[in-house]
Amino acid sequence: MSLLFLFTATLVKILPYLLLILLPFRTYFRYSVLKTIAATCSFILVFILGAHLILPAGSTLLEWQLYYSALASLLGLLLCFMLIKGNFFKIIFNFFVVLCYAKDVDYYSLYLESYILNTKTLGLDLGAMVFCYLLVLAFTFPFMWLFMTRLLLPVIQKKEQAPFWDFLWIVPFSFYALYHIGIDPDDSIAKAFINGKNALPIQIAWSIGTFLSFVMMLQMFKENIKNELLDNKLQVASLHLDLQRKEFDRLNNTIEETRRSRHNLRQHLVLIQHYVQESDLPSLENYLNKYIKAMDIDASVNICENSYFNAIIQYYYSLAKEKDIKVELAFDLPKDLSLPETDTAVLLGNMFENALEACERQTGGQRFIRAKGALISDNMLAITIKNSFDHEIHKNGDAFISSKRNAKGIGTESIRIIAERYNGLAKFNSNEGVFETSVLLNTQPCPSQSIT
């Protein structure tokens, strides 16, 4: 089998699918675009040379198809893991969706060979195979491209939905496995099937059913993502209302305190006037010291220059003080911080909520929360919260199990997702009754396609 044939057949049968497999993860490449292209080209060359060395001289096109089916899937999947940094199950899901499409193209190209070109060799004619394959690819590839870019790509790039990928990949894998078992174009049973009277309608129904299942699943998850975004907005709006209610109560208390102070001020001034008239300076000084000390009320704490961070942290500071939890704060943040208010509210809210909940459950010992945050470079924000706890913490791998239900904790997962969204990381550690949540994130978000 000549190198020219191997080169032509490999480019036709591999390159379009590599493009579809890598497309949804173009913002998650481990290396630069040029290095990724170079690695892909190297993969193709290795595949061609491997076929040249493994296949004996005089091998038929059908034998090459068997080699292609056996090694392309395995080597292609390894290539994806080498080039893409992302969710393991997302990569597998996308990979088998593309392989299902590849199998459809295989079938329809063989059907064209058999019926339109009036040949029964089914892929043994190189010229007929390439022509029919390119014809089917040219007709179907634009639709597959729209499916990938308009539906699959936005869902894959949304990290909020990471948990469902743990099982979603089973669907395209099952379709691919059933295709191999039932109507694989590479075996003799497939040949008889292709030559059968009702072969084409059955295959069309199979193809439509396969991709209609994918479309319905992805559309459902798109709607689920929209609902989660709405829920996040409602949570942020609720937090805003709580903050406004707290500020309103504080304002009312201030107004009431001002009224009382004005009412009592006259009495204080009369007494001060008496001490002045009597020239009783020691009594006057003693009285003024007591009066100043009495006026030293617990005013709002100015935590940092950033007004939004300041408002949120003040809110949780007040909640902690009401519950007799010792709070230590050290935030050094600039007035202007390019971080959306919604993400700030969700991130800080979950971090402080988890710390408050752990302290509330604590039955003995000193309850405390120690929080600090600062910019460690121009755009790199670091936030750490340590809190006391005395209950048992359960984990499943790297994920913490919620104390309210036997599932991943929503708070810790939300923190992790927001950190990843800003090219950062979140770490959770517990040691000797102290739980630590650390977040490092770039205040400039990575580009992401929105859900529409």
CATH number at residue 366: 3.30.565.10
In a domain, 19, yes or no: yes
Judge whether 171 and 213 are in contact, CB under 8 Å: yes
Q: Is residue 325 packed enough to be buried (19+ CB in 10 Å), middle (13-18) or exposed (0-12)?
A: buried
Judge whether 369 and 387 are in contact, CB under 8 Å: yes
Total number of domains in the chain: 3
The answer to whether residues 213 and 106 belong to one domain is yes
The answer to whether residues 201 and 75 belong to one domain is yes
Q: Give the pLDDT of residue 61.
A: 55
Judge whether 309 and 344 are in contact, CB under 8 Å: yes
pLDDT in tens, the chain (452 residues): 556 666 776 777 788 888 888 888 888 888 888 888 888 888 878 777 776 677 666 555 555 666 666 667 777 788 888 888 877 888 888 888 998 898 888 888 877 777 666 655 544 566 777 788 888 889 999 999 988 888 888 888 775 555 677 788 888 888 888 876 655 444 444 454 455 556 677 778 888 888 888 888 888 877 777 777 677 667 666 766 666 666 566 656 655 666 666 656 666 677 787 778 888 788 878 877 776 665 554 445 567 888 778 888 888 888 888 888 999 998 888 888 777 777 777 788 889 988 998 999 888 888 999 999 988 887 888 999 999 998 777 766 555 655 554 445 567 878 888 888 788 889 988 888 899 999 998 876 554 434 33
Query: Six-digit token pair at 265?
Result: 């001020």
The answer to whether residues 367 and 282 belong to one domain is no
Query: Six-digit token pair at 15?
Result: 């390159």
The answer to whether residues 214 and 246 belong to one domain is no
The answer to whether residues 374 and 262 belong to one domain is no
The answer to whether residues 222 and 249 belong to one domain is no
The answer to whether residues 68 and 120 belong to one domain is yes
- The dihedrals phi and psi of 333, each to the nearest 5 degrees, come to -120, 140
In a domain, 449, yes or no: no
The answer to whether residues 189 and 216 belong to one domain is yes
The answer to whether residues 251 and 369 belong to one domain is no
The answer to whether residues 254 and 352 belong to one domain is no
Among residues 294, 315, 332, the one where a domain terminates is 294
Q: Give the pLDDT of residue 368.
A: 94
The answer to whether residues 67 and 202 belong to one domain is yes
In a domain, 282, yes or no: yes
| pTM score | 0.56
Q: How far is it, in rounded angstroms, from Cα 109 to Cα 103?
A: 10
Give kind and range of the element (H or E) at residue 429: strand 425-431
Q: Give the pLDDT of residue 436.
A: 92
Q: Give the pLDDT of residue 178.
A: 81
Radius of gyration, CA atoms only, the chain: 33
Q: How far is it, in rounded angstroms, from Cα 286 to Cα 272?
A: 11
In a domain, 448, yes or no: no
Query: In terms of DSSP H, where are the helices of 278-364?
Result: 281-294, 307-322, 341-361
Q: Give the pLDDT of residue 407.
A: 46
The answer to whether residues 221 and 243 belong to one domain is no
Q: How far is it, in rounded angstroms, from Cα 168 to Cα 90?
A: 8
In a domain, 300, yes or no: no
In a domain, 302, yes or no: no
Q: Is residue 104 packed enough to be buried (19+ CB in 10 Å), middle (13-18) or exposed (0-12)?
A: buried
Q: Which domain holds residue 263?
A: 239-294
In a domain, 452, yes or no: no
